[in-house]
Amino acid sequence: MKLFNCLLVVSLIFFLVLTGCKKTEDMTDPVTTTETVTDDEIADAVAKSLVSSEGGIGLTGVVDISGKKSSGSNAVLAKNDLNAPNIDSTFTKSGNTQYASYQYTVTLNIKFVKNGNEYQIYLPSFDTAKVNMKAYGSVTSNNGKFLYQDTTYLGNAILAGISQSSDTITFSGTAYYYSNFNVVAKNRYYNLATMMTFSSLKVPKSTYEVSGGTVNISIQSQLKNGATVSATGTITFNGNQTATLTFNNKSYIINLNSGLVIT
């Protein structure tokens, strides 16, 4: 646990040095910003790191991209072809939904695994893929109430069941999210680092949406005065594009399409 905490703190500080300092000065009023972060704000930030591919590159968006691009019938992978599995590809993902507009740059690497060996091509007999992914970008609500800048890391995640004969993928690994939030409606600004560890999330190929499984999370918020707020909890996927976030003896229902939270 101590090693994990050190890793999370070092990673967060590194991210803040790169992206947070100048934005804090540009986007906040030090007179009106309260030096704390509430459970509800943490829940809202975690929810935004889960939003689906329709609204960003949260965990469910990562699942969508990774699942689609690791399954297929192409014997030779086409670089930067969004309709085929990809290796070492970089592309942009942007859109405007009912809730928000978003734009991300995504770097994706896929290796296919068979009998412990890794390959750079897809063959129909392959059942497992290893995915590394990085995405960075921004999301702005259509009502102007919030915006956030987000960086996502997914390292050596394993997708099993990618063969054409399988109708469901299972997704296992660890994802890291580093976000700078500007909550315009409350004149609030804070940073959040979230580590998500998951095993065998169920992802039907009919939708590429997570239909079941549990994620263990560790959260750390860096405040403007240098203090930190930490928490641990779980996310349980309920199907029907909802998930339940539980931490600090509280539960929140999250809409995975919008990132909205119901307390």
- Summarised one tens digit per residue, pLDDT across range 62-96 is 888 888 888 765 555 555 555 555 577 888 888 88
147-165 average pLDDT score: 91
pTM, two decimals, is: 0.78
Domain total of the chain: 1
> CA 7 from chain center: how many Å?
18
- Summarised one tens digit per residue, pLDDT across range 101-135 is 889 999 989 888 888 888 877 777 889 999 999 99
Q: Find out whether 217 and 233 touch, Cβ atoms under 8 Å.
A: yes
d(CA 127, CA 113) in angstroms, rounded, equals 7
User: 163-185 b/e with 16+ CB inside 10 Å = b?
Assistant: eeeeeebbbebebbbbbbbbbee
* E strand or H helix that includes residue 43: helix 39-48
- Summarised one tens digit per residue, pLDDT across range 168-222 is 999 999 999 998 888 888 787 888 999 999 999 999 999 989 999 999 999 998 8
Give the structural domain span for 115. Answer: 2-262
